[in-house]
Amino acid sequence: MGLSYKDAGVDIDAADLAVQMMKKYVHSTYTKGVLGDIGSFGGFFQIEGDYKNPVLVAGADGVGTKLKIAFALDKHDTVGIDCVAMCVNDVLVHGARPLFFLDYIAVGKLVPEKITQIVKGLADGCIQAGCALIGGETAQMPDMYKEDEYDLAGFAVGVVERERLLDGSKVKKGDLVVGISSSGIHSNGFSLVRKTLLSKLNLADYIEDLRRTLGEELLTPTKIYVKSVMEILNEKLHAMAHITGGGLIENLPRVLPQGLEFRLDKDAWEVPPIFKIIEKVGKIDQKEMYRTFNMGIGFVLVVDQNHAEGILEKLRSFEEKAWIIGEVKEGDRGVVL
């Protein structure tokens, strides 16, 4: 008998089993707009609501080398939350409500139980964001990936009324900057995290300042800001920024018109202990820390100065930790700390 696809490292039966095992998690994310079921060539979604001039906003991202931590700990049920968060938070920046999400999982060897755990995380993230997981792709790629490793990426689509679309054009001198806390490192900078920490510490080490193991801290899922931020969207909110790779220094200027800059007060918010540990163990320059990590601020709102306190109060009513961390001044389209 000749060679089979399975002999080449691709197990179609395992893929079919994985689809059956993940269905309950996928179905748990379905909203009213979902049409059909997983297994089709495409996912179907009907936009609901009384939109006059709807604009679709799309974002794509992955989890990056944070996956290396999941591999080392053999824990795969949270990285899906990271994947969803990185996409829906980007869509949210423009005032768009996330509608649906699709994933891409590439594996060296398909283990249905592991795929199911990854999809569980994706479903958890979609539920937090109020969007539906309507499809995706699981690709078996022997020789491209090690048998126990995989890559994970996805994209989200949201909708916003055109007149409410946020693109930074409303930002003006005197606006205040409201920062919302991160849940930790999120899903950026892990190449530096691993190079810095894992050469000196073990993932199983209990870190007193963190009150948990290093591995538990590093796998903390990226925070999803959709539900609280959607509650405060109004005409007094002029721009938003998702603080990802590049930190505050690189992300905030993306929403600035020419001739303006952000002046931030580093003492205005709490920097979580993990960042102080990274800085100390790696002897990393503070400016490099702020160019690489979120430093405790995962999402930023630029608001009219007369309404900043009201927005801050409302965020805190949703149990968000938030602070006024700076203001908009005349300057050279950058960030001054």
Phi then psi for residue 335, to 5 deg, are -125, 125
Per the listing, tokens 């078996």 go with 140
43-52 long-range CB contacts below 8 Å, 24 or more apart? Answer: 43/100, 43/102, 43/134, 43/135, 44/134, 45/99, 45/100, 45/132, 45/134, 45/157, 47/99, 47/159, 49/159, 51/159, 51/161, 52/161
Copy the structure tokens of residue 261.
Answer: 């800059």
pTM of the model: 0.96
Contact 51, 74 (CB under 8 A): no
- In sequence order, the 6+-apart residues with CB closer than 8 A to the CB of 303 are 175, 176, 178, 236, 237, 238, 311
Distance CA 234, CA 302 (A): 12
β-bridge mates for residue 188, sequence order: none
Q: What is the pLDDT of residue 14?
A: 92
For the chain, the first-to-last Cα distance in angstroms comes to 69
Distance CA 321, CA 332 (A): 30
Per the listing, tokens 């997981």 go with 133
**Helical axes 190-197 vs 273-282, angle rounded to 10°:** 60
120-139 burial code (b ≥16 CB/10 A, e <16): bbbbbbbbbbbbbbbbbebe
User: 12-164, superfamily in CATH?
Assistant: PurM-like, N-terminal domain (3.30.1330.10)
Q: What is the pLDDT of residue 1?
A: 67
Q: What is the largest CA-CA distance in the chain?
A: 77
Distance CA 230, CA 130 (A): 11
Distance CA 78, CA 125 (A): 9
Domain ranges of the chain: 12-164, 176-336
Q: Could you give the 3-state DSSP secondary structure of residue 219? A: coil
pLDDT digit string (tens) for 25-45?
999 999 999 998 887 889 999
Per the listing, tokens 């755990």 go with 117
Copy the structure tokens of residue 96.
Answer: 């768009």
CATH fold group of domain 176-336: Phosphoribosyl-aminoimidazole Synthetase; Chain A, domain 2 (3.90.650)
Q: Which residues in the chain land under pLDDT 50?
A: none
Distance CA 160, CA 250 (A): 25
Residue 99 to residues 58, 96, 127, 129, 167, Cα–Cα distance (Å): 10, 9, 11, 9, 19
- In sequence order, the 6+-apart residues with CB closer than 8 A to the CB of 170 are 238, 239
